[in-house]
Structure 1
């Protein structure tokens, strides 16, 4: 009896997977037609689809690095990024402040998100969006999610906001200078310059307005900042703190509501600014956030922090946006 060589079995496995993928794409094409997408659009978009094993590998093998804010912030917000953020704020000052006034979102937060999501537009990803989304849907672990993103991506092409050749993003399908997923693009992207296209890839004013529109839509309040680092008394009850951990957004909001107190109440509990002085005397509420649990930095987080957590439900990400916005300053620090 003879057995196939390992090399031959690997070839067979690759061929089998490609055949399964091709059958899945054929099924998706039928679904797209049933949804009413134009056959010519489907033909052009689906003709470019390729199976991307590296996308599945990236999704399954995202690095699990043990970080603290002490190690994370210097890497995510190095001095060169702060310097560049200040420089670009000044270069785009007129547009940024027009957008800020229109949407009610401070310009420094727009710049901070721009810088952290795409390095001010420099790093947008070179993966074909359609192929990435179809590959991730085919993988099956979050098929419904990525099929919704695929239909949203077809809507973007149908509406002419970008052509298929340039329709690229991250391996997960996040796009442009804002790194919006297709569904977020359709919900929040803005044609600020009025050229008929919501161009978050090459048009800064559209990207700025899209960031601001997103934040406004999830409850941003430009009379507030994001939060502040604080000191706790030695006998502080840590049960009043939002501890680090994975939760659904609904659970997280419930936990926020349970831990929220007025600044006067936090003052009475012994919470102080980092220099030891009293908290601001404002009639607003805040939740205590500790991204690294009881041994790490503590922050009083205002409602705008919740808006940043809508963007990306990560204490580290939300805190880094706030931190960079503070370092940018208003007006930007010289």
Structure 2
């Protein structure tokens, strides 16, 4: 019979030291589970030998949002002129590589660059937490133990396969890793060895990191040569609070319903299907979302994220 799960770690009061009661027994059980699942003893020792719970990880996990930005505030902060300029520079510096990736996967290179910019500021902020230690902290803490334990075991497999050493596997407090900020299970499914060195290294190889973003989008249904959305002007009487974002209509149908391009020009009279894409907390800006917008949102689901990626990609180009 399997051992009972460890108790959920109590949340410390603000400023109080972290109560680590039960962590050592949690680690013993975790090491045993890793060995049973096929993780080698050297990896178990290297990755799980001397780790301790990280109070900062728990603090960030429990932190409540301090405020909610409107779409316009978020858009202007995220799609800033500095991020646009940095994106153009990153695109130019990696042009040949990006063209190879676009050719291989059929995904717009400028969208890959935009996601890179959104996730880690073009590799400038990939996170400084030891991923195994952060995931172990969250798995021990217990509120989402099953999710983080699954991610932790995936992280151990990634190390065991030789993709990265335990000490170099760094990422966010929640375990998102490398330039593309893949969770370990996403890495296992979608990371690629684009530079051909035998390792999928999204931490140190731009080729692997950017191609992995391309592969992620391609595997989720990216439509080559298609756009992502079009800003649109609604007809009179449109109520942004009661919008239907599920119904698909052709551009020609949207046009017949009175929709126009944002500048007042006619929509393209095509059969291309689109749905209404309304930013969260928007004061009026509305888009007609194409299938590729849904693909971008498979990478990170909030509507505002998907729209910002598209806008940044357009401006980088």
TM over 0.5: yes
Residues 72-111 of structure 1: pairs in structure 2 closer than 5 A: 72-111=74-113
SS at match of 2:22: helix
1:325 aligns with 2:313: yes
Deviation at 1:29, TM superposition (A): 1.4
1:260 aligns with 2:248: yes
Higher mean alpha-carbon deviation, 62-71 vs 91-100, is at 62-71
Deviation at 1:284, TM superposition (A): 1.2
1:314 aligns with 2:314: no
SS at match of 2:147: helix
| Rounded Cα–Cα distance in structure 1 between residues aligned with 2:268 and 2:252 | 9
| Rounded Cα–Cα distance in structure 2 between residues aligned with 1:318 and 1:64 | 22
- Alignment match of 2:223 (pick from 221, 224, 231): 221
| Rounded Cα–Cα distance in structure 2 between residues aligned with 1:137 and 1:41 | 19
* Inter-CA distance 64–228: structure 2 relative to 1 (3 Å threshold): farther
Higher mean alpha-carbon deviation, 75-84 vs 208-217, is at 75-84
- Alignment match of 1:203 (pick from 199, 202, 205): 205
Deviation at 1:62, TM superposition (A): 4.1
| Rounded Cα–Cα distance in structure 1 between residues aligned with 2:40 and 2:196 | 26
- Alignment match of 1:57 (pick from 56, 59, 64): 59
| Rounded Cα–Cα distance in structure 2 between residues aligned with 1:306 and 1:48 | 42
| Rounded Cα–Cα distance in structure 2 between residues aligned with 1:82 and 1:198 | 28
Q: Give deviations 1:215-267, integer Å, cap 9, x for gaps.
A: 0000001221110111111223654533xxxxxxxxxxxxx3xx221111111
Deviation at 1:197, TM superposition (A): 1.1
1:291 — aligned with what? 279
SS at match of 1:299: strand
Q: CA RMSD in A?
A: 1.7
1:176 — aligned with what? 178
Q: Give deviations 1:1-54, integer Å, cap 9, x for gaps.
A: xxxxxxxxx9xx858x32311111111112112212222221221113210111
- Residue segments in structure 1 that go unaligned for 5+ positions in a row: 1-9, 243-255, 330-334
1:246 — aligned with what? none
| Rounded Cα–Cα distance in structure 2 between residues aligned with 1:41 and 1:139 | 23
Q: TM-score, normalised by structure 1?
A: 0.86
Q: Give deviations 1:268-306, integer Å, cap 9, x for gaps.
A: 111111110111222211110112357431111011111
Deviation at 1:96, TM superposition (A): 0.4
Q: TM-score, normalised by structure 2?
A: 0.91
| Rounded Cα–Cα distance in structure 1 between residues aligned with 2:150 and 2:225 | 35
* Inter-CA distance 317–303: structure 2 relative to 1 (3 Å threshold): same
1:162 — aligned with what? 164
Which structure carries more helix by proportion?
1
Contact 2:71/2:282, CA 8 A, preserved across alignment: no
1:302 aligns with 2:290: yes
* Inter-CA distance 173–44: structure 2 relative to 1 (3 Å threshold): same
Residues 33-52 of structure 1: pairs in structure 2 closer than 5 A: 33-52=35-54
Contact 1:133/1:172, CA 8 A, preserved across alignment: yes
1:241 — aligned with what? 244
4+ long deviations beyond 4 Å: 237-240
1:142 aligns with 2:130: no
| Rounded Cα–Cα distance in structure 2 between residues aligned with 1:317 and 1:289 | 12
Higher mean alpha-carbon deviation, 40-49 vs 93-102, is at 40-49
1:231 — aligned with what? 233
* Inter-CA distance 319–103: structure 2 relative to 1 (3 Å threshold): same
